Amino acid sequence: MKFSIFSVADHYPGLSRPVGQLYDEVIAQCAQADALGFEAYFVAEHHFHEYGAIPNPAVALAAMARASQRIRLGPAVSVLPFRDPRQVAEDYALLDQLSKGRLIMGVGSGYLKHEYDGFGIDGADKRLRFDEGLEIVRRLWSGERVSFAGDHYRLDEVALNVLPWGGRMPEIYIASLRPEVAYWIGKAGNHIMTVPYASLDRFEEIGGLIGEYQRGLAEGGGETGGALVALHTHVAESDEAVREQAAAAFDLYVETRLYAKSQTYDDVMASGLALFGSVETVVQKVVALHRMGVRHIMLLNNFGALDAGLVSASMTLFAREVIPRARTLIEPADG
C-alpha cells in the first residue's frame, strides 16, 4: 500500500500568515515527506479565491523538486480547460526533466464556478475541453508531431522541444468524485484520483466507488489501473488530542470550500470520511481501506492554517507508527 501527501494550499488573507510563508511551509513539508519515505507530494490548482493559493502547480512543484531527492511530484489536479494543452504539456515536461522523471500527473476538468467565470469560459463546455486537452497532451508527450482539429483547439504539425524524462509517458490520474464516473474512467483503462469527503456520505461508500472503478477496468479489458484516494489526516497521541489540535482548523477549511458538501469536524467524524485520531484509530481505518480495495492514500495534512509544527508531527507519526503497524496487518491478508 502506498501513501502520499496532498496540499490544497488553502490561504486565509485575514490571518497573520502571509502567502509566502504558506509556500515555504508547503515546500518544507514536501522535503519532510521525502525524508519520511512518502510516495508522492501533490498540490492543487486553484484561482481567484483563498480556496487555494497555487494557480500553477508546475511552478510550485519545480521549487519542490529542488528541495527533495526521491519523492514523486504532481498536480492534483491540472485543470485542463483553463490552459492551452500545448502549454500544459510543455510546463509538466519541463517539471519532469527538472525532477529527473518524478512527475505523476493528475488532471481534471474543474468544478468551481468562480474559476470558470474568472477565465471567461463556459463551464458547459468543460468536458469537451478536457477530453480534447488530454488527448493533445498525451500525443505531444509521446513525441508525435501533432495535427488536431477540434471544437476548442487546433494544432498544425506541432511538436514539443522538451519531452518528459527518458522519453516515457508520465503516469496520468483523472479526477472524479462520483461512482458512475469512476466506472467509465476504469473502462477507458485510466487511473483515477478521488476525494471522498466531497461527495460521499459514509466511509463505507469508498469501497463502492473503488468497486465501480475496478468493474469498469475489468470490463474494459485493462490490465493496469490505479486509484488515489485523498482523505484529511491528523494523527496525535489520542483521539481527544486530535480534536483539540485539528478541529478548529478543519472547520475553518470547510468554511471556504465553495460548492462542495460541507462537513464540519463533527460531521466528518460521524461520516468517517477522514483519518483523524490516534495511531491505533488511524491504523484500523487504513486496514479497512485496504479491504475496500484502496492501494494508494493521499493524506491532506495541511489545512485551515494548521500550525506547521502540528502538521510535521502528524506526518512523522503517520510515517513512523501508522504505516508500519498497518502493513503488519495488511501483509498477511495479501499473502
- pLDDT tens figures, 116-166: 999 999 999 999 999 999 999 999 999 999 999 999 999 999 999 999 999
Least reliable range by pLDDT among 104-118, 149-163, 222-236: 222-236
Q: Which residue has the higher pLDDT, 262 or 135?
A: 135
Q: How many Cα neighbours within 13 Å face the side chain of 147?
A: 2
Q: 225 near 186, Cβ under 8 Å? A: yes
Give the residue numbers spanning the domain of 219.
2-76+176-334
For position 314, what pLDDT does the model report?
98
Q: 45 near 10, Cβ under 8 Å? A: no
For position 257, what pLDDT does the model report?
80
| Residue 210 binned pLDDT confidence (cut-offs 50, 70, 90) | very high
- Please, where are the H alpha helices in the chain? 19-36, 57-66, 85-98, 113-119, 126-141, 179-187, 205-219, 239-255, 265-271, 279-291, 308-317, 323-334
288 within some domain: yes
Q: Which residue has the higher pLDDT, 222 or 255?
A: 255
Question: Between the CA of residue 211 and those of 3, 178, 293, 295, what are the distances in Å?
Answer: 20, 12, 7, 12
171 within some domain: no
Element (H, E) at 18: none
280 within some domain: yes
* Burial class (CB within 10 angstroms; exposed 0-12, middle 13-18, buried 19+) of 147: exposed
| DSSP SS3 for 77 | coil
For position 199, what pLDDT does the model report?
86
For position 224, what pLDDT does the model report?
65
User: Is 335 a residue whose pLDDT tops 60?
Assistant: no
pLDDT of 154-177, one tens digit each? 999 999 999 999 999 999 999 997
CATH of the domain at 213: 3.20.20.30
96 within some domain: no
160 within some domain: no
* Burial class (CB within 10 angstroms; exposed 0-12, middle 13-18, buried 19+) of 18: exposed
Q: How many CB atoms lie within 10 A of CB 53?
A: 22
148 within some domain: no
192 within some domain: yes
Q: How many folded domains does the chain comprise?
A: 1
150 within some domain: no
